[in-house]
A and B are shown apart, each in its own frame.
Chain A
Amino acid sequence: GEDVEQSLFLSVREGDSSVINCTYTDSSSTYLYWYKQEPGAGLQLLTYIFSNMDMKQDQRLTVLLNKKDKHLSLRIADTQTGDSAIYFCAEIESGGYQKVTFGTGTKLQVIP
Chain B
Amino acid sequence: EAGVTQSPTHLIKTRGQQATLRCSPISGHTSVYWYQQALGLGLQFLLWYDEGEERNRGNFPPRFSGRQFPNYSSELNVNALELEDSALYLCASSTTVLRRYEQYFGPGTRLTVT
Contact = CB atoms under 8 A, between A and B. Distances in A.
Given A42-B107, A97-B56, A98-B56, A88 B45 contact: no
A88 B43 contact: yes
A99 B48 contact: yes
Contacts, number: 53
Interface in B78-114: 90, 92, 94, 100-108
Interface of A is mostly: strand
B31 interface: yes
A62 interface: no
B72 interface: no
Q: How large is the interface on A (under 10, 10 to 19, 20 to 34, 35 or more residues)?
A: 20 to 34
Contact of A97 (B35, B55, B108): B55
14 contacts: A35-B105, A41-B107, A42-B106, A42-B107, A45-B102, A45-B103, A88-B43, A97-B48, A98-B31, A98-B94, A98-B100, A102-B42, A102-B44, A104-B42
Interface of B: 4, 31, 33, 35, 42-45, 48, 50, 55-56, 58, 90, 92, 94, 100-108
